[in-house]
Structure 1
């Protein structure tokens, strides 16, 4: 494959960054919306999970279409859907049901961003560089997701929570404009797949592919509940350390945003490491550290604040560091003509889990009257995801990275 400059990767990653500002803009304002609308923790968790529900509805379809239609067009269309729904949430949402509907539609829109973007990049970059390439691309997702929490603090202090949603949603329109103006198109499959039972059977018959998808589902159980609830947890922790509610809202979201954004270092390192030592060998230490962090994080709200920050940074890096490795593995284990479909299937399996875990987290907080105990148990439940991922990865996984293959050949 002809060597391609980093420019397409950086441009598409930036466009994705802009759209992903929508993902956790609700988490950034959750304590304020919960108070204003009179929501329970369980209802707050349902709205949080509804976004993932919308994502799951669309991601498989958009993944399949990206094997048949230029993924750049899908990206543009989806960014417009997500941006418009986000704007409507900020302008007219009044309570549980309107918030729920707009978040579902926003999720449907973002379902057409990540997989078509991966498909776009897979058509431009050689397999032996995909660990690094996907690591950067996933890093943009991480930074975009977390940045809404970072932007929330100053915007809330100057204006209010609605302006947070409006500002972060408007960025999706800029992403659409970028992809309209950037007219480089990737190579499309010579024989686009036709949806059929045989096609699905071939994907599920691939045992390595199934194992990676199951591991990805465990990873997503942990990751998105952490991302969705770390903001409210840091607000709670800040209050326990003597800050007023308004101060805690700003400080908690600031540090939660940093925990998420700094995860981009993990995706870059995880992807790069997997190019060098193999996919599964790179996955295991990241999963183990993430598991340990999930077990302890909810119990540490009363320890010195700087230690909470240190542990939160480690958690933020490792909980997402394995994300690009799963996508790279799917891209290598799948046929080129069905890559979009395979990635879409992976996303459906993973994000179906994320519909459940944030809600389980919220309901755990609702049913346990002691807040400290509730946070501790809720985060500990997330460790089940990492544990499941470790268990489904075979001990002697017969997989060699492209870089290793090249070294062996030479």
Structure 2
């Protein structure tokens, strides 16, 4: 038990450090646009490049059952080190849009060995109370994702390249912490051989399929919302010229507060159950999507910020809960593969929603486009409560 209490903080810190690579480009987007003569639409393209890389990476990791066949801590470190190198490549002065997209794509590929593998490591250590453990872990992902926005604000007097180098440095530190301090967990059951069909066979399990589709609905909304937070804030200031926002600091706050929501959700599941809290989070985030036009038009500055902070909480609170339900509905030998393939499909969906908003923002009133994000939570709730769906495990 002492070892478990010591291990979780290390996993959380490592996850935070390494996932700071995710939005490193977003945190300095305005500088990239100026220095490399990019168009404003580059925001959606660069975010999608990371997502594409992550999708391919998770697909490769899942098909070859890498996280189940090899020591997950070593996989984590290797991917953290390589991801940091390609992330740092963005600072090269000779970059073009194509080369930056390529670097972000490869960074995303190696993130596939960080986020889902970190969750796999947690499941190897925590059999009971898994929901709470994964809530802390996803909370670290949220903070890591938000960190580049804060770093940009903190290093405003320094060159933008310092943000990129800082995130790469953190990734190396996080990988080393995992490699040195987190050995294979007591509940780990290594796969004896490569099973190319394992990542597809898991969907024959109806309970697994149901919670996975709930997760997919959640993902339709999550990364599109995170990506467009600076645009949402900018749109409000255009409609309300008397208002001035510190966009980097607010973007960090709106994303980062989701980490607190993850932790709170991890405790609430012990009272109300994992599936119930995940569903509540989907309902609340769906409501946020639907009321955005009203808030854009009539909300005061303080109310608008409060609304976005609330949305930042409910949009992510269900993420660790869905991962918990996924892990609870597969055998120990393929937990890593199951978590990875679900991530792969989920992040594929994020590209569709990001690119949809990217396309529509110039074609229609931007105050209305975010209502389309409600499609995901609605379909996710239908999947969770489809007829004949069985209840979640009693341990949750």
Q: Tell me the distance in 2 between the aligned counterparts of 1:203 and 1:384.
A: 25
Secondary structure of the residue aligned to 1:262 is: helix
The structure-2 alpha-carbon separation of the partners of 1:365 and 1:209, relative to structure 1 and needing over 3 Å to count, comes to same
Corresponding position of 2:106: 105
Residue 301 of structure 1, CA deviation: 4.1
Corresponding position of 2:9: 10
Q: Tell me the distance in 2 between the aligned counterparts of 1:75 and 1:190.
A: 16
Q: Tell me the distance in 2 between the aligned counterparts of 1:77 and 1:115.
A: 14
For the Cα contact (< 8 Å) 1:331–1:343, is it kept in 2? yes
Q: Tell me the distance in 2 between the aligned counterparts of 1:30 and 1:167.
A: 16
Corresponding position of 2:255: 260
Residue 190 of structure 1, CA deviation: 5.1
Secondary structure of the residue aligned to 1:123 is: helix
Q: Tell me the distance in 2 between the aligned counterparts of 1:118 and 1:174.
A: 18
**Structure 1: gaps (5+ residues):** 405-410
The structure-2 alpha-carbon separation of the partners of 1:240 and 1:33, relative to structure 1 and needing over 3 Å to count, comes to farther
Deviation larger for 228-237 or 50-59? 228-237
Residue 35 of structure 1, CA deviation: 4.5
Written as runs of structure 1 = structure 2, the 5 A alignment for 1:170-189 is 170-187=169-186, 188-189=188-189
Matched, 1:119 2:97: no
Q: Tell me the distance in 2 between the aligned counterparts of 1:346 and 1:354.
A: 13
Matched, 1:162 2:158: no
Written as runs of structure 1 = structure 2, the 5 A alignment for 1:386-405 is 386-394=377-385, 397-403=389-395
Q: TM-score, normalised by structure 1?
A: 0.89
The structure-2 alpha-carbon separation of the partners of 1:26 and 1:164, relative to structure 1 and needing over 3 Å to count, comes to same
Residue 299 of structure 1, CA deviation: 5.4
The structure-2 alpha-carbon separation of the partners of 1:243 and 1:16, relative to structure 1 and needing over 3 Å to count, comes to farther
For the Cα contact (< 8 Å) 2:69–2:192, is it kept in 1? yes
The structure-2 alpha-carbon separation of the partners of 1:286 and 1:159, relative to structure 1 and needing over 3 Å to count, comes to same
Corresponding position of 1:218: 217
For the Cα contact (< 8 Å) 1:283–1:322, is it kept in 2? yes
C-alpha RMSD of matched pairs (Å): 2.2
Corresponding position of 1:153: 153
The structure-2 alpha-carbon separation of the partners of 1:92 and 1:170, relative to structure 1 and needing over 3 Å to count, comes to farther
Write the deviation string for residues 24-72 of structure 1: whole angstroms up to 9, x where unpaired.
1222222343354443444431221110000011123335211110100
How many residues end up aligned between the 2 structures? Answer: 391
Corresponding position of 2:277: 282
For the Cα contact (< 8 Å) 2:328–2:393, is it kept in 1? no
Corresponding position of 2:291: 296
For the Cα contact (< 8 Å) 1:212–1:393, is it kept in 2? yes
Write the deviation string for residues 146-191 of structure 1: whole angstroms up to 9, x where unpaired.
1211121131x20233322222222111112212321532143254
Corresponding position of 2:134: 134
The structure-2 alpha-carbon separation of the partners of 1:378 and 1:99, relative to structure 1 and needing over 3 Å to count, comes to farther
Write the deviation string for residues 247-283 of structure 1: whole angstroms up to 9, x where unpaired.
75xx011111101111012211223323433232112
The structure-2 alpha-carbon separation of the partners of 1:201 and 1:237, relative to structure 1 and needing over 3 Å to count, comes to closer
For the Cα contact (< 8 Å) 2:27–2:149, is it kept in 1? yes
Write the deviation string for residues 284-337 of structure 1: whole angstroms up to 9, x where unpaired.
211111011112336534532111111011100000000001110111100111
Q: Tell me the distance in 2 between the aligned counterparts of 1:190 and 1:175.
A: 24
The structure-2 alpha-carbon separation of the partners of 1:193 and 1:355, relative to structure 1 and needing over 3 Å to count, comes to farther
For the Cα contact (< 8 Å) 2:217–2:380, is it kept in 1? yes
The structure-2 alpha-carbon separation of the partners of 1:233 and 1:95, relative to structure 1 and needing over 3 Å to count, comes to farther
Q: Tell me the distance in 2 between the aligned counterparts of 1:306 and 1:364.
A: 27
**Structure 2: gaps (5+ residues):** none
Structure 1 ranges of 4+ moved more than 6 A: none
Matched, 1:307 2:298: no
Matched, 1:334 2:342: no
Residue 366 of structure 1, CA deviation: 2.6
For the Cα contact (< 8 Å) 1:62–1:115, is it kept in 2? no
Q: Tell me the distance in 1 between the aligned counterparts of 2:337 and 2:192.
A: 10
Deviation larger for 233-242 or 219-228? 233-242
For the Cα contact (< 8 Å) 1:93–1:99, is it kept in 2? no
Residue 345 of structure 1, CA deviation: 1.1
Q: Tell me the distance in 1 between the aligned counterparts of 2:165 and 2:49.
A: 19
Q: TM-score, normalised by structure 2?
A: 0.92
Q: Tell me the distance in 2 between the aligned counterparts of 1:191 and 1:346.
A: 19
Residue 133 of structure 1, CA deviation: 0.5
